Amino acid sequence: MAPVTRSWVTRGALGVLGLLVAAAIAGPWLAPYPPTDVVGAPFAPPGPGAPLGTDYLGGDVASRLLHGGRTVIGLALAATALGLFAGAAVGVAAGLSGRADAALMRPIDVLLAVPPFLVLAVLAAGSGRGMLVVVGATALANVPGIARVVRAAVLETRTRGYVEVALARGESWLSVAGRDILPNIAATMLSDVGSRVSAAIAMVAGANFLGFGLQPPTADWALMVAENRSGLALQPWAVLAPATAIAVLTIAVNIGGDQLAARLRGAAGRRRFRPAADDVPAAAR
């Protein structure tokens, strides 16, 4: 069987992912109309000037589709980055200190048992609806899984001789984490990013669809599905186009993340970060 990196499925997924990201970035300049312009009758079928027809207000579906990719991708990436930073901080602290482990991982275990959309509903009830609530809830939902992965990697790495030497010399936990721990667990952390991004895309889209996040008249793929579902029988493209874009984006990110994870695991197996020779005790050389 051909390697995964040479698979036409993987190459196709990465190509589609690149096109979607490029379209999301350049979409506002490629769209023939502003996202709020009325260009025809509501739920008009595809025709000249509106290749995907119009939506429930008479807006151009193609234009709103080109404008709506930024929010889904941007919010998902922001939430993933925030969750990765917070989860890594918790995981490193818990893995390096037994006292911190007991204090941090019990709340993490509780949060892991809470459904992500329940976290979103609670935050929305307390803070209101909006973009920040969606990003915060999505990031918080990602923290427990990331923290557990990072903690396990830190526990495995901290038993190595050069880490014990650094601690015996009296170096701070922060210094040991930055110089000796993080370089060795970076591949493990990054190999988990693909699945986190795809989960964040699904949660952001679900939050916007349910009305917890972005509000009309913002152009967003999930909002387009929610706004136009009543006219599915009249003008299916107003729903099918953004729904397909979300599905294809999620699948492409999943496949791309799997390839990234495979490459990082292979690289980690061939080469592991090694400290300078004077950091290793003579008996371990």
The pLDDT score that the predictor gives to residue 280 is 46
Orientation of helix 131-157 relative to helix 193-210, angle to 10°: 160
CA distances from 194 to 54, 121, 175, 227, 240 (A): 34, 25, 28, 29, 25
40 and 58 Cβ atoms separated by less than 8 Å: yes
Which amino acid appears at position 194 of this protein? Answer: G
The pLDDT score that the predictor gives to residue 265 is 63
The one-digit pLDDT tens for each residue of the chain (285 residues) are 444 445 777 788 888 889 999 999 999 999 999 999 999 999 999 998 899 999 999 999 999 999 999 999 999 999 999 999 999 999 988 888 778 888 888 888 888 888 888 888 888 877 778 889 999 999 999 999 999 999 988 888 877 777 777 767 766 667 777 777 887 787 778 778 888 999 999 999 999 998 898 888 899 999 999 999 999 999 999 999 999 999 999 999 988 877 777 776 665 555 444 444 444 444 444
Q: HSE on the CB side for 110, CA within 13 Å?
A: 5
Q: What tokens appear for 248 in the block?
A: 């294809």
The pLDDT score that the predictor gives to residue 227 is 94
Q: Which domains does the chain have, with CATH numbers?
A: 7-28+52-273 (1.10.3720.10)
The C-alpha atoms of residue 110 and residue 28 are separated, in whole angstroms, by 42
The pLDDT score that the predictor gives to residue 233 is 92
